[in-house]
Amino acid sequence: MQWQRLRSLLRYAHERSPFYRDLFRRIGAEPGDFRSLDQFKREFPKTDKKDFLHFQAEHPHYGRTLAVSEAEISMHAETSGSTGLKLHIPYTLYDTERYGESWIYGWWAIGIRPTDSFYFAFNWGTFAGFWSAYWGVRRLGANVYSGGGQSTSGHIEQISRLKPTVVLATPTYATRLAEEAVKMGFDLPSSSVRFTYHAGEPGPTALPALRRQLEEGWGALAGETLGVAELDAMAPNCPLGHGVHMNELNCFSWSSDPVEGLEVGEGEVGENVVTSFVQNAQPLINYRTHDLVRAFHRRCDCGRTWRYFDGSVLGRSDFMITVKGTNVYPTAVEVMVTETPGVSPYYQVLLDRLPSGLEELTVRAEADPKLPKEEYLPLAERLARRLKDSFEVRIPVEIVDPETLPRFELKTKRMIDRRPEEYRRQLDR
């Protein structure tokens, strides 16, 4: 089924998109020259977000990648820009329906039904993530409560008054809402909310400690979907395990060695390369997500046969740093921080370039509000030892007072790159 869809998509992109027509011409091939998924993985060029950003800069808004006329675009969204420039994303009406359906697979699996009501703790900007969740709620036929424009306390007041059964928010903002409810004297675990659901940053699947904080704070079941804004809400969490299932109805994906470009074996870590069947306006074919995953094709106890990513996303192929000769993925550092008792969900990983030319990571984390001040230094020493034991390199740790670090409603900025701008430009080149 995936091969039939992929063949159709190759023909569609070749006929409709100047970018893909040029790509086929460059490799001296026609869509019909590709005769299997294996051949496609080996021979079709990979595409990358930076390519699309380049085309959009040259030809606003969408470059030469469109496969429809601009009159057929029914929704414009943008990425958060957390890794650089904002990518413009066009959707046709059909795209929004299919993209919205992707959320429903995850919701249904954990028990959410059309009779539920959804509260969006979201400001309704141009960020694609929760707009696509809104499309999903409409597709599901459930009720929508919009919290756009409310303060954190205003969200809690509305939740107590409107009595939704599902709350949608980034995981760290959901944690902040739970903290605010305690301050307001509102018993959130006894409220109407039975589910919280998340996207936009590493959540309850990748970070078990965060799952515990969310489920204890809300007294509700926490779920999430792994998505890439320009591709799809493509991988709902497995209801039973520490991973996500790739939605193979809407996407074809495979794992590539990020350096060599060849397919890695079952259970080996590789970069998730995705072809989306959901994006008609701007086709994305053999697209590098830069997400590192450990993938398995097997029947899961939850009943799915979809591709399974153990631990969700393990790191980023485009963001690995060398600290004193040791390769470190900041995502792995984040997992270690969240699993250390006494640390709150709010922390930063600071990246600096020392005068010696070496790079250094520093962890700055808020203490749990219940932790006495005299325990800050022992906690910092304990976390630093755990990091050194895991990565065999010293990573300084600083514990700060609660409510010291910034809060965000959308993606939390946990990685702070403080290296000189000129040096970062050289790396990009």
Nearest to 168 by CA among 126, 109, 106, 249: 106
What average pLDDT does this structure show over 157-182? 94
- Residue 28: left (phi > 0), alpha (psi -120 to 50), or beta? left
- What pLDDT, in 10s, does the model give residues 90-113? 999 999 999 999 999 999 999 999
- What residues does 343 pair with on adjacent strands? 367
Helices (H) and strands (E) in the chain, counts: 12, 21
Lowest mean per-residue pLDDT among 252-256, 306-310, 318-322, 412-416: 318-322
* Chain position carrying tokens 């193979």: 248
pLDDT over 80 (residue 424): no
CATH superfamily of 321-428: ANL, C-terminal domain (3.30.300.30)
The set of long-range contacts for 355-362, using a CB threshold of 8 Å and a minimum separation of 24, is 358/323, 358/324, 359/321, 359/322, 359/323, 359/419, 360/323, 360/396, 361/321, 361/323, 361/328, 361/330, 361/333, 361/395, 362/395, 362/396, 362/397, 362/398
Structure tokens at 338: 């969240």
What six digits make up the tokens of 321? 């740093």
- Reply yes or no on whether the pLDDT at 356 is more than 70: no
Among 200-204, 298-302, 366-370, whose mean pLDDT is lowest?
Answer: 200-204
Q: Where are the domains of the chain?
A: 321-428
At 81, the pLDDT band (50, 70, 90 cuts) reads low
Alpha-carbon distances of 78 from 34, 82, 121, 424, rounded to whole Å? 32, 11, 19, 23
% of residues, the chain, pLDDT over 70: 93
Q: How confident is the model at residue 327 (pLDDT cuts 50, 70, 90)?
A: low
Query: Which pLDDT does position 85 carry in this prediction?
Result: 72
pLDDT of res. 427: 53
Burial of 187 (0-12, 13-18, 19+ CB in 10 A): exposed
Query: How confident is the model at residue 357, as a pLDDT?
Result: 67
Between 358 and 144, where is the model more confident? 144
Contact partners, residue 67, CB within 8 Å, separation at least 6: 12, 13, 16, 17, 20, 280, 281, 282, 283
Q: Is the peptide bond before 14 cis (omega within 30 degrees of 0)?
A: no
Cα separation of the two ends of the chain? 40
Res. 423: pLDDT tops 70: no
The whole-chain average pLDDT of the chain stands at 90
Residue 243 has pLDDT above 80, yes or no: yes
pLDDT (tens digit per residue) in 377-397: 999 999 999 888 887 788 899
Per-residue pLDDT band for 359 (boundaries 50, 70, 90) equals confident
Among residues 229, 259, 283, 305, which one has the least CA distance to residue 76? 229
129: its two tokens: 């993530």
Residue 50: how many CB atoms within 10 A of its CB? 15
CA–CA dist 226, 308 (Å, integer): 12
